[in-house]
Structure 1
């Protein structure tokens, strides 16, 4: 247990950051799964509505990754790698 004021504060900050990290990482994982599922649907149908749905999910993933990178949840190269991987999957499907 923490014995001084600064150690107690660090514990609180650590808990806050853990929740923030968990939110961004789990949200990105969930949206990535939805993106992959929608991408498979688009590969089969090739309809414009499915393409728009895939693009909307991709944009929201990009937004979360960028915000997470800005708040030091992701390293900038990790964020770039994740975004590039998703963009390559979309490009291969089109």
Structure 2
């Protein structure tokens, strides 16, 4: 089986050099099927036309959370003035 995978890899690389990306994709999919445990006959006859690769981050932690949308008419509160951050108003006579 390793000879078959090696031959498919060479065929895939030749297809990429020839800019035939569809053939390279078919070779890549057959290699993945063979590595996954399929027989050569199953990998040859498998119909991969309806399958799509998963988008990056679709299964990662925290990457597929839905975005929250604010209710209609909501406006964000004004941002605090950075010049007064952490200061409080004077409370009484100053000590010396």
> Taking structure 2 as the reference length, what is the TM-score of the superposition?
0.30
Larger Rg: 2
Which structure: greater helix fraction? Answer: 1
